Chains A and B, each alone.
Chain A
């Protein structure tokens, strides 16, 4: 069987894997944005224990490799009576892992707003909430766009790690097909490369565009 026929035959399998990868990336990103915002609030909170908890969370998730977190979810949680499938485990772990990065991006965005801005807001008599909504966050949002974009691109690539705990994503399907047809590995390589680059490269362009727009508006 030549490469083109083989590829045509395995296209449905690839497509199924591709959909899982996209779903996993988008769902985890949404989760990570929400959790990351909560963590950022904890990390800049005036209450010391909340700050400590936020810091501990971020340090744990930044210093332990992603695959180790996945193993914890898939091997340790069942021992505590929590039964979750590979996809749910991967979704939760990727969201929690990425949330640490989102938190740091948001925090540095808020900290990048010059002190004088917040002080000026207070001097005008804005309340904490008003100051945040009208002065700090609009400016922080601009600094935050590029790092949040690269966090997403990293997340898309990280979803591939989930294949190692049995999530039937693009990488998993690639591995299965390659095991069945070792002679076609080169063809599969091109296909799977296309599958990931088709996500990461447009995402990169979108981030660059957003970044330019944010920069002009400043």
Chain B
């Protein structure tokens, strides 16, 4: 069992009268790159929130071989990085981009310890890797959506997590920036040896290193398998309840809708 980084057994989330997630079973091994795909309201973000420890749930969840509830020890939280959909911030908020990245290291440092040379170097290295080193001294609120998303990725990695949760990291970005962020995520996956869960509703915008897809619909898991098996007209049409077709050109698969 210990080779499973993340195990969910019959995990459900109920809010008011509705069931947001219903009896989800999921096992993710070390270094897997899993896409969580589904339409709006499928429960993707709720699933991510359960794994991140933001949401109460029923059922059993274990992380790194240990059973967890939504309240969890600091040591476990340190091992789970989280990138929200959009880093919401006021334009005037008093934080610079590099300080925002550094916030990822604060939990690991612990109380009463100041960030040292290592943390500063790490911050700049990751900002460089995310191509935002030149924005280090710019107020975060002044950066564009794409730049903020790259800062957000660097912030999550500076925490040195083993499991990285990405909640629609490319939503609201224009197409060129989406591609750039996906490439950076591929780069992260390659260089940092991480287990990644990537939530998205956009099946046309997936990182190349994603091998496995879990599809949700109405709070239920309706598909779990290879990404190539998920991205077929039949499967996608069933999950998204919309006629979709796939075709290949130059070895690449395209999905089109009528």
The answer to whether A and B assemble together is no
The interface of chain A, by Cβ under 8 A from chain B, is none
The interface of chain B, by Cβ under 8 A from chain A, is none
